[in-house]
Structure 1
Amino acid sequence: MTLLVGTRGSALALAQAGDIAREITERTGVPTELVPVTTHGDVSRESLSSLGGTGVFASALREFLLAGKCDLVVHSMKDLPTAPYPGLRIGAVPVRADARDTLCARDGLSLDTLPEGARVGTGSPRRAAQLAARRPDLVIVDIRGNVDTRLNFVTSGELDAVVLAAAGLGRLGRTDRITEYFDLDSWPTAPAQGALALEVRDEEHSDDLARALAAIQDDATHAAAVAERSILFRLEAGCAAPIGAHAVVSENSVELLGAVYAPDGSGELRSTGSGEVGVPRTGDGEAEDFVSFARTSIIETAEDVGHALADELLARGAAALAPLKQD
């Protein structure tokens, strides 16, 4: 059986879905085939914030999957709405790529060495707020387009720099264009940035699909993404909201940083939280149940930490600082 892997048709989406398809085949021997799908977000020239952000890249893929035209779809997890989707579930979350944001600037410049009044492009309200907070003298330009289109704004001289995700640049082999990496503690990125989500129909799966999902699942990445996205869920915020998050997951704990920004960079609320993962003792005959419980336990811990941190941010005035509600 050949597994059909649904993906957006952009260069980045095809690259990351291709990586997943190859990994499935290498680890399980199951053949795979990419099936590109055009989404509204791919063809629209409107800004991501005006499109609503949440789900703009996911809806067409989900409809394709529900129609039985593919066996799974690959999403950039940061673009995936946090609310459950009827008939679908996340089947696996592979190892996360670099979650950091980067600056790609002319002449090897960093954020601190860009000249006063430099023009910096981004399509993210969160990145725009972080830029304005660090460098209020910059001219921040709202841009759209794929990775190469955005990089070409710098090559052509139209912009002095753009801010892009390290993960996307790495998957496309464009890391040579990076002039600065932003540290996650001081510059938390979009919840689940760098992580992929493999979504499947909520039904019994073939043995091949079940083996494929199990082979590429990474529990630590899944838990980190859940912790970060739980902030969005609790705040009822979309993926275009000016919110940054960064989780660190070990075998026994989840540590989480969350930040909410005023859109103009004039204010920021930041909080941290943590939780311990409790795993009971089990006999040798219960090995399968033990693995299942351990995975569920760390996910539940991640959700609890994210919800508690979001509640703290709300109590401190996050809703007054930034637009959070989804449309």
Structure 2
Amino acid sequence: MTRTLRIATRGSALALAQTGMIADELRRLTGVEVTITVVTTEGDTSRASLASIGGTGVFASALRASLTAGDCDLVVHSLKDLPTAPYPGLVLGAVPLREDPRDALCSRDGLTLDALPEGARIGTGSPRRVAQLLSLRPDATVVDIRGNVDTRLAKVSSGELDAVVLAAAGLTRLGRLDAVSEFFDLSVWPTAPGQGALAIEAREEDSIPELTQIQDERTRVRIVAERSVLAALEAGCSAPIGASSTLDGDTLTLTAVVYSADGSAELGSTRSVTLGGGGAGAGAGSALAADEAAAVGLGSAIATQLLGDGAGELAQLGSSIR
């Protein structure tokens, strides 16, 4: 009998597209049967701002509950939406190859951020993007928006907004790169930790060897580094913090920036570490574990420096960052 894996996902067009990609890859590489189940989350039904309902983690909770209850075998998350704290009984089973991690501006008439008129109305639901926009365009009116990609783009085409900022990865997966006016370079506009990557979560007790076929270890090490900054700062997914990483050979370089809410000030740090893969003779699993440990250490070191420089006070996040 052919093995069947049940995957749960949110019902948005982007979530379904991402999950469909994973399902297709599992079928192609392993021959398993895959079924997809849609789960409605609080983040999908509430129209309140993400910050007011608990940040992007609200997208993950219902999916995790379905997985824990045994209603599915796997769930697919956008990694930037996944809280950094471990979830009892669940593990990060695989991280596939990352898509473009940059943010993109989608504006009327194809205008760049610099070319938008004074007082331009720009939509985003991310406190980080708000701070970054105001840092570069303090004259702009930043409008808090919710909704899927098409809903947000429609606000531009209708004239309600002059522009919106969206993740390049989501636009790529939906075939909507035609809407992009400008991509923001990561060196001046670091994005959410893990942006562009997907997380395949599974139950700790299960053995799902097929996941090794869709794992990209270099992507996994990079996102571990980025997310470890958030974890060490004890900040949530919606905090005004950007992080980006590169892996050049064995050299992992991580940059993190903490912003004030109004974009008037920021603190950043860049550090590198050489990955050793656990040394000669190490097995594949232990080598990855050693590299992940090095990545965590790198993120923690950057967080320690940022806190010492006053990042907690700058971000004004109270108990969320201390």
In the superposition, the TM-score normalised over structure 1's length comes to 0.95
Q: What percent of counterpart residues are identical?
A: 60
- Distance of aligned partners of 1:120 and 1:54 in 2 relative to their CA distance in 1, 3 Å threshold: closer
Question: Partners in 2 of 1:319 and 1:326 — Cα distance?
Answer: 9
Give, as a single letter, the amino acid of the residue that structure 1 aligns with 2:287: A
Q: How many residues are aligned here?
A: 317
Question: Partners in 2 of 1:215 and 1:130 — Cα distance?
Answer: 37
Question: Partners in 2 of 1:204 and 1:188 — Cα distance?
Answer: 36
Deviations 1:78-108 (A, max 9, x none): 0101000001010000000000000000001
Give, as a single letter, the amino acid of the residue that structure 1 aligns with 2:183: Y
Residue 7 (structure 1) aligned with residue 9 (structure 2): yes
Query: Structure 1 residue 326: deviation in Å?
Result: 3.5
Asked if the contact 1:2/1:30 (under 8 Å) is kept, the reply is: yes
Question: Partners in 2 of 1:111 and 1:298 — Cα distance?
Answer: 38
Partner of 2:222: 224
Question: Partners in 2 of 1:326 and 1:40 — Cα distance?
Answer: 21
Question: Partners in 1 of 2:245 and 2:191 — Cα distance?
Answer: 10
Asked if the contact 2:43/2:56 (under 8 Å) is kept, the reply is: no
Deviations 1:2-26 (A, max 9, x none): 1111101111100001000001111
Asked if the contact 1:220/1:250 (under 8 Å) is kept, the reply is: no
Partner of 2:291: 298
Aligned positions of 1:38-49 closer than 5 A: 38-49=40-51
Corresponding residue to 2:272 among 267, 271, 274: 274
Structure 2 alignment gaps of length 5 or more: none
Partner of 2:201: 199
Question: Partners in 1 of 2:4 and 2:140 — Cα distance?
Answer: 50
Query: Structure 1 residue 251: deviation in Å?
Result: 4.1
Corresponding residue to 2:88 among 86, 89, 93: 86
Give, as a single letter, the amino acid of the residue that structure 2 aligns with 1:313: L
Question: Partners in 2 of 1:35 and 1:135 — Cα distance?
Answer: 42
Question: Partners in 2 of 1:293 and 1:2 — Cα distance?
Answer: 29
* Secondary structure of 2:51 counterpart: helix
Asked if the contact 2:236/2:320 (under 8 Å) is kept, the reply is: yes
Aligned positions of 1:89-238 closer than 5 A: 89-205=91-207, 209-211=208-210, 213-238=211-236
Partner of 1:261: 259
Deviations 1:274-299 (A, max 9, x none): 111124222xxxxxx52122211111
Residue 249 (structure 1) aligned with residue 247 (structure 2): yes
Question: Partners in 2 of 1:34 and 1:137 — Cα distance?
Answer: 45
Question: Partners in 2 of 1:273 and 1:21 — Cα distance?
Answer: 36
CA RMSD of aligned residues (A): 1.1
Corresponding residue to 2:59 among 57, 63, 71: 57
Deviations 1:12-66 (A, max 9, x none): 1000010000011111111111111000000000011111204200000000001
